[in-house]
Amino acid sequence: MRAIDSISIFLGTVAAWLFVATGLMLTYEVVARYALNAPTIWAAELSQILMIAGVFFALGATLHRRQHIAIEALYARFSPLGKKLADSLTLIFVGAFAAIVCYWGFDIALDSYLKSRSSGTMLNIPNWWAEALVPFGLAVLFLQCLAELVRVWSGSGWQGTKGHAESGNEDLA
């Protein structure tokens, strides 16, 4: 489980830096376009790919840290067993969704690779580069769901989460 956590946390950190890079690229594009009258051919397309990567790389870390949207008012009223069941149902639902989208996303990326589809822009980036990010990120999310499900029923709680591990924000505790 610690290996899955480490991968998720690492990819979450990479995602944060990808968003920083996206912001820098788009800022440069605005300055180049409007101040220098010299728009780029790369900034918009690369920033889109980095944003896709950032979103899907962050999924596992978001789940591990329990930073997703939750209805705490209702959850707080549950008994310990009710909380375990609610956590389990949530993790099973998210894991099933991740597995299904991962399966179909891989098929889409593979099809683009086999048919050599590309963006058709001046950079002509292969479509599968961006499309492969979806099943990759969802595969990590699926594995993180399994790890958190084991934590829920092993009694160790959902690590690094609010409401479960009150000891702090320890990523790999």
The predicted-structure confidence for 149-166, as pLDDT tens digits, reads as follows 999 988 776 643 454 443
Does the residue 165 lie in any domain? Answer: no
- Within a domain: residue 77? yes
* Residue 16 binned pLDDT confidence (cut-offs 50, 70, 90): very high
Residue 44, domain member (yes or no): yes
The three-class DSSP label of residue 40 is: coil
- Flag whether 163 is in a domain: no
Q: Are 26 and 43 in contact (CB under 8 A)?
A: yes
The two three-digit tokens of residue 27, written as one number: 């800022």
Question: Domain containing 145: what range?
Answer: 2-154
Provide, for the chain, the percentages of residues in helix, strand and coil under a 3-state DSSP scheme, each rounded to the nearest 5: 70, 0, 30
The predicted pLDDT at position 121 comes to 84
pTM score, two decimals?
0.83
For residue 36, tell me if it sits in a domain. yes
In a domain, 173, yes or no: no
- Provide the domain count of the chain: 1
Q: How many Cβ atoms are within 10 Å of 145's Cβ, its own excluded?
A: 25
Mean pLDDT (whole number) for 22-29: 95
In a domain, 16, yes or no: yes
Q: With respect to residue 171, please indicate whether it lies within any of the assigned structural domains.
A: no
Could you write out the DSSP letters of every residue in 100-162? HHHHHHHHHHHHHHHTT-B--SSS--BHHHHHHHHHHHHHHHHHHHHHHHHHHHHTS-STT-T
Tell me the percentage of the chain whose pLDDT exceeds 90.
Answer: 69
pLDDT at site 162: 52
